[in-house]
Amino acid sequence: MAYGQTGTGKTYTLARLGEEDTAARGIMVRAMEDVLADVLLETDSVSVSYLQLYMETIQDLLNPTNDNISIVEDPKSGDVSLPGATLVEIRDQQSFVELLRLGELHRFAANTKLNTESSRSHAILMVHIKRSIKGRDSALSSENCSNSHMVKMLKPPIVRKGKLLVVDLAGSERIDKSGSEGHILEEAKSINMSLSALGKFINSQAENSGHVPFRDSKLTRLLCDSFGGTARSSLVITIGPSPRHRGETTSTIMFGQRAMQVENVLKLKEEFDYKSLSRRQNSQLDKLIVEHERQQKAFEDEIERLTIGEQSQISDAKRNYADALESSQVSAVEEVADLKEILQKESLLRKNAEEEVNNLKNLVALWKTSEESKNSEILKLRKMLKEEVSQKEKLEGEIAILQSQLLQLSSHADEVNGEKASIAKLFDQVGLHKILSLLEAGDADVQIHALKDVANLAAEEANQDKIVEAGGLTSLLMLLRTSEDEAIHRVAAGAIANLAMNETNQELIMTQGGISLLSMTATNAEDPQTLRMVAGAIANLCGNDKLQTKLRGEGGIKALLGMVRCRHPDVLAQVARGVANFAKCESRASSQGTKKERSLLIEDGALPWIVQNANNEASPIRRHIELALCHLAQLEVNTKDMISGGALWELVRISQDCSREDIRTLAHRTLISSPIFVAEMRRLRINY
């Protein structure tokens, strides 16, 4: 197992394939070389599973659709297994390397300030080895030859089983140093929680504690054999040379020292191969069953022959007796049958008459009950109508008072304690539901003041859920749909942009047709500030992996690109941010194997504008465009369009002249990892 801060070389140490330089092979490749050199493939079996523990769910890197594998623990032996994981039998070293390459493509990774390709999951390689041990039956007694032969037949062979576990832990990180946010922040929290559970697990083992918390996380459950169990365990700790990370380095070394104090008791695991014994017993049982069925069939045939003879004699006797009685009983039987038919008809008529009388009685009773309930319901409805009229008059009075209070408080906001103090005062005095009710007022000034207050409240994450639950999002979208005032459009779009910073709200905005309304607003607006708000809202939606296809299908990308007509730097910066977010999601989907087709941005004609602004004078625009180019280049299917569109030259410039080292490194790695880019740079004689 490798443990350490993010970016210090854990994956390099364990998972490096070393195809170009064999000296650079990682521990996984070297370990499998030793295993294959020491087994006989004719009699031994070597199988491999490759998994990742991501956000406390175990996912199969060899079969990405298998994304929620459960852990099963043997109640007797305590052994831990993963019965749902893909198990691939290995015959040679090359097939193992291909499996590792396939698994690495499906691992989750992200770009942070500490590492441009930081692992966001724990990778777990499991190698299972089985070996049959023969020649163990010679000690059996041979006094009785037949008995000895039966004992040998029932004696199962012994199988020895071994398991190699190689764990590439995700790196620990401090949020203030890594700069993680959004979904990457949630990943970092999950990683740090699982590593914290591992530290508690190691501490309790090192201190010989009476309680070992190996059930606190799925990672510790998988490693319960490796620390304090029956396995031989090795730990690699990795540290960085920078004095800036002195605290993380000290913590890593202390972790290694505690782990060295854990003592394991090695055990040889053997089991009997009862399956082969069961097959031999089943074969003997089948022979006995066939013989029994043959004898049973012969017995049944004899019984059937005797039964047929007896039945023939009985039939003859019955026929003779019936012929004798038939002549004397025919007339009596006919008379009895006529009387029975008359009696049945009379009984049926009487029964029908009784049922009709009962039905009429029930109808009369139901009519009386219904009349009474209707009279009571009419009285209740009249009373409710009076109460509704009274309540409506009361609400109209309150709305008039609230409109007056809102105008007074909004005009007073710039004089006393600043804008935040006025919003807090308004929220406490008036209440969210009453503020939202003013969005439906007939006065445009009242609506604008209420919208500003909602937008300021939505800027704080703690208020967003309350606004959505109170119907604020629905009201904002309704104003975009119905109002013709551009000032209302501008403030409403700003409030929606603030709510769109939350992933759950993003899905609600898309579900309620928000992208279509934002696109329509962007088409009709001329004010740069309105366009900046709309572009910001769409840019936030572009960062959601689940919504990309729907966002593009409802015209979100075309609306975003259409706003570049404004040429205002703030609008262009939001457009560039949206393009970068969309390209980043496509790159992540490609690395996970869920996207193979050409980028939707390129299909919608965004590439010429991206290339044109890759070296824009405004730093925010240029930084987002550079990231968008790097992410687009990671999809191999985009490379030909990027070469023909001039993006290759911009990528070369970014890899050499970009002011940010992480973007410069990402561009360089993207260029050299693409065979098409490499061939084109050689053709153009570009030094890279």
Cite the annotated binding site by residue number: 4-11
Quickly tell me which residue has 């001329």 as its tokens. 526
Q: Are 664 and 656 in contact (CB under 8 A)?
A: yes
CB under 8 Å to 602, separation ≥6 — which residues?
632, 638, 641
What is the SS3 assignment for 231?
coil
CA dist 278 and 85 (Å) reads 27
CA dist 432 and 470 (Å) reads 8
CA dist 20 and 29 (Å) reads 13
**Which helix (H) or strand (E) segment is 478 a member of?**
helix 472-482
CA dist 175 and 114 (Å) reads 10
Instruction: Supply the angle between the helices 274-412 and 444-458 in degrees, to the nearest 10.
Output: 140
CA dist 421 and 453 (Å) reads 11
CA dist 189 and 502 (Å) reads 17
Residues in the chain: 688
Q: Are 501 and 462 in contact (CB under 8 A)?
A: no
Q: Would you list which residues are annotated within the binding site for ATP?
A: 4-11
Q: Distance of alpha carbon 56 from its chain centroid, rounded?
A: 11
Q: Which residues pair with 50 in a beta bridge?
A: 125
With vertex at residue 670, the alpha carbon angle to CA 665 and CA 675, rounded to the nearest 5 degrees, is: 145
CA dist 347 and 607 (Å) reads 91
